[in-house]
Chain A
Amino acid sequence: MAEMKSNLVPMEQEEDTMHGKYLVFDLDHQEFAIPIAHVIDIINLQPITRVPNCPDYVKGITNLRGKVCPIIDVRMRFGKEPQEYHDRTCIIVVEEQGAPVGMIIDSVSEVITLEDENVSPPPKFSTSAEARFIQGVGRSDTGVKLILDYQAVLGEDRFAHVEEAAFPMG
């Protein structure tokens, strides 16, 4: 996506001002970051219509200003225990294949700048469930942030077994 965008002149400028900027959010007492260029919206929790026969982490669909937007719970996507939503719970909306997709996270904290040299690849030995959704580790003044690979979070191919598990009826 990012490479495609940079071919267009106005996008390039936008990309430039956004480059290195990350949105930091909280998930299960851990700080994650997502390149802000990919975020199209941050909304408060709003009514979600449940869609039957989807995996648990797919909470359903919501009305995002006239667009129908699927919502997933990142915490559950990571395989963690679900938690009650509260008034700081947020939905980060990103674009996937041209359509918006919302990700529920615990809370949004700040926007930071991470220079490229401060971003390193993820530790290979990590075996935790969320490791496969991490595309790098960023070091900033306020601590270490895990950079979320949102395409992996929304992706399917590599994790076909997750869906199989969700369809015991086959």
Chain B
Amino acid sequence: MASGNDQMMEMFLFEMSTLIEQLDEVLLNSEKSQELTEDAVSEIFRIMHTIKGSSAMMDLDLISTVTHKLEDSFFLIREDGIDQSHFTELFDLMLDATDFLKSQLEAIQNGDELAEKNDNLIDRAVAFYNILKGGEVSAASAPATPAAQQSAPAAEPDLPVGEDAMRFEVFFEEDSGMENLRAFMLINTLKTKSKILGYHPHDIESNPETAMEIMVNGFTITLESELAPAEMQEFIEKQMHVSSATLLSEEDVARRTGKFVDLSGTRYEAHVYFEEDCGMENLRAFMLVNSLRSSCRVVSFSPADIETNPETALLISAKGFRMILETPLSQSALQEILNKGMYVRSAILKEVAGASAPSEPAAASSLQSDKASAPAVGPEKEAAKKPRAVKAPIKQSLISVSLDKLDQLMDLMGELVITESMVVRSPDLKALTKLDNFQKAERQLRKLTDELQDMVMSIRMIPVSGTFQKMQRIVRDMCRAMGKEADLVTMGEDTDIDKAIIDGIADPIMHLVRNAMDHGIEMPEERLAVGKPSKGTITLSAQNTGGEILITISDDGKGLDAQKLLEKAKKNGILTKPAGEYSDKEAYMLLFAPGFSTKEQVTEFSGRGVGMDVVKKNIEKVGGTVQVESKKGYGMSVFLKIPLTLAIVDGMDVSLGGDTYTLQITSINESFKAKNDQVIVDTEGNEMMMIRGNVYPVVRLHELYGVPNAVTDIEEGILIWVQSGDDSACLLVDQLIGEQQIVVKPLPKYLNRFGVKNYGISGCTILGDGNISLILDVGGIIDNVLEKR
């Protein structure tokens, strides 16, 4: 029982956070462009409505009340628009509201007490609603809104329809489909609560084309009920797939008729090809025509006798299938519908000019004649909605899966990779000589597991856009609070990263953006004084560089001053060598040293001196590295290099005293045999190797790890030149064993107490023969060695 509730709560939280993210995005975009498009308004309205509904279902009354009040305002805005003068207030109100929602969600997630009330926000919402309404009452007769009936009953208009009769206009959810059947079911449900006097369109049961009409114009029901209009409305809104229900007054009805969209819409010519091997093309075409009937009017098609003449199949497969369609949908939406049709390989859509005129005889359908006088709002307006129209169907093909399951899938994938190498490297095979078929099958298996692995990985990949999006808000808030001006430019938001890694880098990115805002970007006057535009720019970009993701956070602020950094570090006592020996790059990295803060005062946003070293730690935790570049006066850039994924990597097995160790291929520069006289020894006995003019320390792994029976003569063993970030070293091992994919497993918790990780061992992996190999962490090894020297 509890788990069922938990699951619902989990779904709820997931849905809420997605919605709030969308809301944030819409709000910030609108605020930036200082305009509130129709799309944005309905989007916000829809989000508010959904949150209201689901939170009421979860018994979260406060959230539900707040969103209800806001929804009211947006209802008004949607109906009557909003004056620019109210924008600031509106956006502040809405952003505060999203903050409130976020805090509530967080409280739910952490199991904290939820806020009992937030009168301030509700009062503001109501006040704002009244402002909107005040302006609006003088403009037109007040339409009845859900709020009017609940929060301000005095505003409820008289219903001229009669004492009990009410008329509702119902819209269904955008992607519900089969609107006529939904309407029919709605009528049936309503019969239990009320007496249905009539509805429009009336032939919903028999005429599938009404689906289109309902989708565009809504479904009007006239009914009589003992319930109050507000209750009735609520009841209707609770029904399946209903997105909104509005109580109509007589004037509304009159006003609305003027708004009806011409259903005949634009005429398109569609040229469809089916998949090559689908067969029976004529029947496929026939089914396509049928399925299209719910969303558009099929005027004609060619070849015409597909139903009766099987020979048309050949014709269609050779020359395609042509249709003349008429629809108020945008071209892209229609294209989407066509593309989604079964067996459709490609569909070319062309607008046929002049065909959409209402006087066109072919368009004079029964629907058309109802409102022949209606202005054709059709194609142009729909075209403006293009992005949304395309989005809606995409959504349907997505499912949400719990991360646990994906983790399990990943684990299984790992087991599979291990088992595969157990099979193909089985020692039993060594006794056999003729293995042609086995090897063929092995290659096939290898190919399949590789593909499967790529697929499993790609499932876990999500774009960084969500993380980037959150930064917009931070920049905006900080600009306001600090009186600075800055734009956040994002690039490569669609770069995909493993979900587990994204979770790990969200905080570091936030810290870095805050830091750029706080310490990097100067005040507008300062910027103007040095000849920069008053508005700063912070660029956030992500790109896939092969095995790694490179995330860059750069600003055009004042940049870093190496001298200042060093002084500061000296004062804080965190210098590890004389200040004069630091290169600029090393000085910049001091930023990320524990206990370092360049700003004298601690501010609300950054500068506690804990942020930046946490950034480095967190990035390293997901196997990444941090680098800084800066030019004084011109800004700074921070580069985060993050591995694409953590779990399965290409590894090089090496042997050392009979044990096997594994190095990540990406950390290996090259491996080579060396002569004893090539080794340079310094005064303290440290061995070094010269490679192409640079000197690198030689690390005898057997000494570091105290391995007995290992090769101690450099000429006998092999040197591997490895690199991690800027650090390089040559590792001496007995020999190379070979390359293979390995599944990284963490070391058992029990060993943590011995500080094994500090000795450059990051994890382990199970080899094909069932033995375990330790994975070497080059960065750790080099740090360890340098520390000792």
Contacts and interface: CB of A to CB of B under 8 A. Distances in A.
B706 A53 contact: yes
A76 to B, nearest CB: 15
A39 to B, nearest CB: 17
A17 to B, nearest CB: 29
Contacts of A166: 754
Given A61-B748, A61-B772, A53 B754 contact: yes
Interface in B738-769: 745-751, 753-756, 759, 761, 764, 766
A101 B752 CA distance: 13
Interface residues of B, number: 29
A70 B748 contact: yes
Contacts of B746: 68
Nearest to B765: A68
Interface string A133-170: 00000000000000000000010100000010011010
A6 interface: no
Contacts of A121: none
A58 interface: yes
A166 B746 CA distance: 23
A99 B754 contact: no
A59 to B, nearest CB: 12
Contacts of B310: none
Contacts of B753: 156, 163
Contacts of A69: 748
A156 B772 CA distance: 25
B704 interface: yes
A55 B766 CA distance: 23
Contacts of A156: 753
A69 B771 CA distance: 12
A66 B415 contact: yes
A130 B679 CA distance: 49
Interface string A105-147: 0000000000000000000000000000000000000000000
Interface stretch (A8-16, A24-32, A44-52): A44-52
Contact of B748 (A47, A55, A99, A169): A99
A58 B749 CA distance: 13
Contacts of A47: 770-771
B197 to A, nearest CB: 59
Given A101-B750, A154-B750, A49 B756 contact: no
Given A63-B772, A68-B772, A50 B750 contact: no
B354 to A, nearest CB: 70
Given A54-B754, A68-B748, A166-B754, A49 B771 contact: yes
Nearest to B704: A52
Contacts of B756: 51-54
A68 B747 contact: yes
Contacts of A54: 751, 754, 756
Nearest to A154: B750
Interface string A66-100: 10111000000000000000000000000011010
Query: Which of B745, B771, B772, B788 has the largest count of A CB atoms less than 10 A from its CB?
Result: B772
Contacts of B750: 70, 96-97, 99, 101, 154
B718 interface: no
Nearest to B763: A68
A61 B747 contact: yes
A96 B752 CA distance: 13
Interface in B628-661: 659-660
Given A101-B748, A101-B750, A163-B754, A63 B766 contact: yes
A144 to B, nearest CB: 31
Interface string B91-120: 000000000000000000000000000000
Contacts of A61: 747-748, 751, 764, 772
B778 to A, nearest CB: 15
B602 interface: no
Interface string B695-718: 000000000111100000000000
B773 interface: yes
Contacts of A55: 754
A66 B759 contact: no
A68 B772 CA distance: 8
Interface string B285-324: 0000000000000000000000000000000000000000
A53 B757 CA distance: 10
Contacts of A51: 747, 751, 754, 756, 761, 774
B421 to A, nearest CB: 13
Contact of B764 (A49, A58, A96): A49
Interface of B: 415, 418, 659-660, 704-707, 745-751, 753-756, 759, 761, 764, 766, 770-774, 788
14 contacts: A49-B764, A49-B774, A50-B707, A51-B774, A52-B704, A54-B754, A61-B772, A63-B766, A68-B766, A70-B750, A96-B750, A154-B750, A156-B753, A163-B754
Top 3 A-B pairs ranked by shortest CB distance? Answer: A52-B705, A49-B772, A70-B748
Interface of A: 47, 49-55, 58, 61-63, 66, 68-70, 96-97, 99, 101, 154, 156, 163, 166-167, 169
